[in-house]
Structure 1
Amino acid sequence: MPNNSDALPPRSKHAQLARPHSGEFGRHELAILGAPCGRIKELAARLLPLLEPTLRVAYVDADHAAGDDAAQGGSGGQDAILQAGAAAELTDKITFTRLDVKRGLDKFSQQEWLQHQGMVLVNGNHFRARQQLVILDPAKPLEKKLDRLTDVRALLLPEGVTEVPAYLRAHLGAADVPIFFLQDTAAIAELILQEWRAAAPPLRGLVLAGGRSQRMGQDKSKLAYHGQEQRAYAAELLAPFCQDVHVSCRPDQVVELEYAGLRPLPDTFADLGPLSGLLSAFRQDPNAAWLVVACDLPLLSAATLEHLVAHRHAGKLATAFQSPENEWPEPLITIWEPRSYATLLRFLGLGYSCPRKTLINSDIALLSPPAPLELRNVNTPEEAAQVRRELE
């Protein structure tokens, strides 16, 4: 009897999921090392005013005094509530909020708490990060920490230092690492911003066409306002701005979309409305930004899309237009950045499937639409007839 076991795919205990690109703390993280901790923190404080207009920046450090106190039998910096046994304490400090949590900080928690930041600066004396800025301070030589220098982005010379140590030149090899004076804050900040912009996630397109079109009475993605089905028209609009364009659909629509020459992306999150398509797109590629357009926007033009893409803010959770009908963001013509995936899932876990609620409660770039009428959704036969008259 023939053995067909070789034809079967290898058994896997876990689903094969694409994982978001992230380091110890976030997608964009930069360790500063090679100097005493005070000098590292001082550099971070100088950089922040120049980075913050573009990026939300977090700083990661360790507290020597608290550690020493705990080692000597003290409270280790815990206040009375934590000492009494509370697992966490959330304090509204009016101008900021502090969360003290009495448990270990694993790498998954770090990424979860810092996911809303565009950049994480890290004290490299205590923690590793994917990329590094190296201060050549003679008081803190790095000869025994070369394993931490995995992707050095710049060397920083303190006053009085003019040479790169031989051991460091040998470690860097042929790498062309720029050198700045430590006090040249503007140049260091501009390098960080340039590299952050260059690493912006690629833009992929998604036409939402998996709805049931109950109010229209027929599949509104198949309606033709411009001589072709609206789903194909929307895909063509997106194509010049995206590396590729997918059409979000129900599994039963896949064959017909392929036959129509479109690229289907079937929903893997069922019965969640537009959120189904958005989450399915991020499940396929969590490292791209998705430019999402609903199929029921027949008045949408390339000029409006160009405006959206030109004003994209990759440091925010999303870039969206303000709805012409109210002050809320319009979620179905929006650029959703990679970090929005975890946020959308968090809102779903809290029982909310409305993408607009995620936008309202997140740090986004909100734009005024250049042509507000183009954002009009067409959901009924009467609305479709009106649009056809306007397009004549």
Structure 2
Amino acid sequence: MTLKEHKKHAKLAKPVTGNFGRNEWAILGGPCTVIKLLAHEVIGALSPAYKCAYADTSHNDDITLVPGRLTNGAMLDYTDQINYQQYNFQNPVMHYQLKQQFANADLILVNGNHQPAKAQVVIIDINKRASLQKRVEQLTNVELFLLADNSDELFDFIQEAIPHWQQIPICRLSDRDMTIAFFETKLKQARPVLNGLVLAGGQSLRMGFDKGNVNWHGKPQRYHMADMLKPFCKDVFISCRAAQRGEIDSQYPVLEDTFTGLGPFGAILSAFRENPDSAWLVIACDLPLMDEATLRNLVAWRNSSSIATAYHSPVTDFPEPLIAIWEPKSYPVLLSFLAQGNSCPRKVLINTDINLLNAPDPEALTNVNTPDDLEKIKKVLHQKTAAN
């Protein structure tokens, strides 16, 4: 093997993010006070529906006292305030740590006079022309121009730096409704694509044979569930162990477990490892009473701003993790739980911000784990068939 052939690191699918998170815009070209006020109003308008964040740089570090115990050598000072929590760090926050802190945000606004972001909103203010010209190289993905009261057209250096400037929307900085509508539209367009994942990789130890092969509805259950998900998802995959791959019908895409030995938790992580920018409608294969109405209701009430959308289980009185939509922002959360020794997806749902629904028909959530369960469900299905 030559040096060129050698690969030191595994090739992983990376989430599409910027400096802070998925959906970030640097606002630049105006005074910092104007940028702060604009961010304040946009966040105020959108925060009821979206998780919003703001990033800036202080101008007065030289006159600000180091807070709390940091002056005495602490590396971290945490205070649980009445209305918020405050963290103060002694050491510089590394780039990857910033992304961890902002991972749950749907919208991140950045003071672009101090820090860059993946996309930009540019204020055209005659008084800040020279300052903006110094930052023209930061204008890599301008999506909106805002004209201040003293400006009626874009600067010539902007038109030269951005050949397609005429295709970028322009509005008045004072028109807050239009600016807010711009961000709201962008967030709706950025809603993650929904894929489906049928969990069929269990060993079915209590049942004594593969539950995914049980024929409840004219075909093996794993294929029945995959077919049910297709109308609601872009792509549908059957999750299985590597040893099972040869058993799966080639008509159905397979996603092998790469986080092995972790059961459903590992299957969900494996799906995000394959595609970290998709949301995943995860469903266990042992739900013979599952119906389209239950799936349709789950998708209709999906809240992509939450970690997940799940049904409340009347049996356990907890969220049901194996008929749920897991959003991309749940991926780092799942990994953090794993790092702390937890591999229970239900525990993740219990301890995070989720959208919890009541199932239109709770019976649809019934799963089958043992031969006794199987016989009971046979009777229920027979009764339903007879009634129809």
Indicate the TM-score class for this superposition, using the shorter chain for normalisation. Answer: over 0.9
8 Å contact from structure 1 (residues 324, 375) kept in 2: no
Q: Which of 290, 315, 339 is residue 300 of structure 1 equivalent to?
A: 290
Q: Check the 8 A contact 2:68/2:77 in 1, yes or no.
A: no
Aligned to 2:17: 22
| Offset at residue 187 of structure 1 (A) | 1.7
For the residues of structure 2 that align with 1:375 and 1:190, how far apart are their CA atoms?
39
Contact 1:258 / 1:264 at 8 angstroms: preserved in 2?
Answer: no
Equivalent in the alignment of 2:95: 107
Range moving further from structure 2, 282-291 or 308-317: 308-317
CA distance in 2, matches of 1:251, 1:326: 31
- Kept after mapping to 2: 8 A contact 1:57/1:117: yes
- Find out whether 1:177 has 2:171 as its counterpart: no
For 1:336, the aligned partner's letter is: W
The residue type paired with residue 50 of structure 1 is A
The within-5 A match list for 1:1-392 is 10-66=5-61, 68-69=62-63, 76-141=64-129, 142-175=132-165, 176-258=167-249, 261-392=251-382
After superposition, what is the alpha-carbon deviation per residue over 1:246-272, rounded to whole angstroms, capped at 9, x for unaligned?
11111110001145x322211111111
Distance in 1 between residues matched to 2:379 and 2:185, nearest whole Å: 48
Shift of 1:169: 2.3
Partner Cα distance (1:80, 1:91) in 2: 9
Residue type matched to 2:91 in 1? Answer: R
Structure 2 counterpart SS, 1:207: strand
Is the partner of 1:139 in helix, strand or coil?
Answer: helix
Conserved 8 A contact 1:50-1:186:
no
The percent of aligned pairs where both chains have the same amino acid is: 43
Amino acid of the residue matched to residue 24 of structure 1? Answer: N
SS across alignment from 2:259:
coil
Amino acid at match of 1:114: F
What are the Cα deviations for residues 269-320 of structure 1, in whole angstroms up to 9, with x where unaligned? Answer: 1111111111111111111111100001111112211221122222221111
- Contact conserved, 2:278 with 2:328, CA < 8 A, in 1? yes
Cα pair 2:125 2:150 within 8 Å, conserved: no
Number of residues paired by the alignment?
379
The residue aligned with 1:73 is none
Instruction: Please list the CA deviations of residues 62-119 of structure 1 after superposition, one character each: whole Å capped at 9, or x if unmatched.
Output: 11111x33xxxxxx43124111111110000021100001111221011011111111
CA distance in structure 1 between the aligned counterparts of 2:59 and 2:305, rounded to whole angstroms? 32
User: Which 5+ residue runs of structure 2 have no aligned equivalent?
Assistant: 383-388
Q: Post-superposition shift, 1:340? A: 1.0
SS at match of 1:215: coil
Give 1:9 shift.
8.9
1:326 is displaced (CA, Å) by 4.8
Give distance in 2, aligned partners of 1:53 and 1:171. Answer: 37
Partners of 1:319 and 1:21 lie apart in 2 by 22
What is the TM-score normalised by the length of structure 1? Answer: 0.93
Equivalent-residue separation in structure 2 for 1:95 and 1:49 (angstroms): 17
In 1, Cα distance between the equivalents of 2:318 and 2:12? 33
Deviation at 1:39, TM superposition (A): 0.8
CA distance in structure 1 between the partners assigned to 2:96 and 2:79 by the alignment? 23
- Structure 2 length normalisation: TM-score? 0.94
Decide whether the 8 Å contact of 1:321 with 1:333 is kept in 2.
yes
Name the SS for the 1:121 alignment partner: strand
Query: Which one-letter code corresponds to 1:115 in the other structure?
Result: A
Please state how far the C-alpha of 1:195 moved relative to its aligned partner.
1.2
RMSD: 1.7
**Structure 1: how far apart are the matches of 2:177 and 2:212?**
50
Distance 1:250 1:390 in 2: 31
C-alpha separation between the residues in 2 aligned to 1:186 and 1:328? 41
Moved over 3 A (4+): none
